[in-house]
Amino acid sequence: MGRFVVDHLNAFYKDKQALYDVSLEFPEKTVTAIIGPSGCGKSTLIRCLNRLHEVTPRARHSGTISLDGREIHEMDAVRLRRRVGMVFQKPNPFPTMTVYENVAAGLKLEGGHPKNEIDQEVYRSLKQAALWEEVKSNLDGPGVGLSGGQQQRLCIARALAVSPEVLLMDEPCSALDPIATAKIEDLIFDLRKNYTVVIVTHNMQQAARVAEYTAFMYMGKLVEFDLTEKLFESPKEKLTESYITGRFG
């Protein structure tokens, strides 16, 4: 569960085209990294996967995306987003909610969960996000009172609490220091046992550390997609090689 197939995807903001004919497949229960210079369409691509792209005014797309064989634009967007969680570039916990409430937010939205079940899910998610030990005595404290790295793990826990199949991460470490980054990377490595993870990153070392597959994008086009090892060690495309050797980007 959690296999995305993107087929001939074009995406636009107003009249500006952000993605050109992108086709690739995200295998289930693996970590796939998307790398590339700023503005190359990485974020747009993963925002298409949970249909957040279409929320932007005057954004549109063509082509198809299917999740486990079903075209996502024929599904209910709300239901899709419960199956496909997202973590953003800047940690964005709800400032009016406590740590506990933040994690429980998705379950509250779903409704119909008894209190003890929510308690359990909050515990499981915080545990999975490697945050439980740090916040267990402070569940009723404000979510925004945590440090930046903790806030980001809180957001990961919040996304995990609704038991998605896929977790999209849009540069989740770009606002964090190296120690917090290392914690999140360890966490991503563990998550692939249960989730399909797609991570957008600026940091090529990060891609090499956490991802089994890597896609390299440039100017809205998918240049190369391969096993991470192959892509970094013997890239097929000249463009990929110049990028990963640091000649541009």
Partner 1 sequence: MGIAPNVGMNPFPGEDAGVPAGPPPHSPVPQLEATPRRERIGRWFNSIFRLLVTVLGFGILALAALFIIVLAQGAWPSLLKFGPNFLSTSTWDPVHSIFGVVPFVIGTLLTSAIALLIAVPVSLGVAIFLTEQSPTWLSGPLGLVVQLLAAVPSVVYGFWGFIVLVPYMRLSVEPGLQGSVGKVPGLGGVFGGTPVGTDILTSSVILAIMIIPTISSVCRDSLLAVPRHQREAALSLGATKWETTNFAVLRYASSGIIGAIILGLGRALGETMAVTMTIGNADVIPKSLFSQGQTIASLIANEFTSAGPGSIYQGAIIEAALVLFAITILVNVIARLLVGRVLRVEGGS
The nearest distance, CB 67 to partner 1, in angstroms, is: 14
Task: Give 109-116 contacts, CB < 8 A, sequence gap 24+.
Answer: 110/82, 110/162
For the chain, count helices (H), then strands (E): 10, 10
Question: From residue 144, how far is each of 77, 91, 244 by CA, in Å?
Answer: 28, 9, 36
The residue whose two tokens read 């957008």 is: 200
228: contact with partner 1 by CB under 8 A: no
Judged by CB under 8 A, the stretch of 10-18, 27-35, 127-135, 158-166 that binds partner 1 is 158-166
Q: Which of 144, 175, 182, 208 is in the footprint of partner 1 by CB under 8 A?
A: 144
* Spatial distance between the Cα atoms of 19 and 8, rounded to a whole number of angstroms: 10
2: contact with partner 1 by CB under 8 A: no
88: contact with partner 1 by CB under 8 A: yes
Whether the Cβ atoms of residue 62 and residue 22 lie closer than 8 Å to each other = no
Q: Which of residues 26-65 bind partner 1 (CB under 8 A)?
A: 50, 52, 55, 57-58
Q: Which of residues 8-27 bind partner 1 (CB under 8 A)?
A: none
Q: Which of 9, 35, 86, 180 is in the footprint of partner 1 by CB under 8 A?
A: 86
47: alpha, beta or left, given left = phi > 0 and alpha = psi -120 to 50?
A: alpha
Q: Which of 42, 61, 81, 183 is in the footprint of partner 1 by CB under 8 A?
A: 81
The nearest distance, CB 147 to partner 1, in angstroms, is: 14
* Spatial distance between the Cα atoms of 204 and 243, rounded to a whole number of angstroms: 10
Q: Which of 10, 66, 92, 203 is in the footprint of partner 1 by CB under 8 A?
A: 92
The secondary structure of 91-134 as a DSSP string is ----TTSBHHHHHHHHHHHH----HHHHHHHHHHHHHHTT-HHH
Backbone angles phi, psi at 209, to 5 degrees: -75, -40
197: contact with partner 1 by CB under 8 A: no
Judged by CB under 8 A, the stretch of 92-100, 172-180, 191-199, 207-215 that binds partner 1 is 92-100
Q: Which is nearer to partner 1, 70 or 79 (by Cβ)?
A: 79
Q: Which of 1, 23, 39, 109 is in the footprint of partner 1 by CB under 8 A?
A: 109
The residue whose two tokens read 């563990």 is: 190
Residues that bind partner 1 (CB under 8 A): 50, 52, 55, 57-58, 78-79, 81-82, 85-86, 88, 90, 92-98, 105-106, 109-110, 141-142, 144-145, 155, 158-159, 162
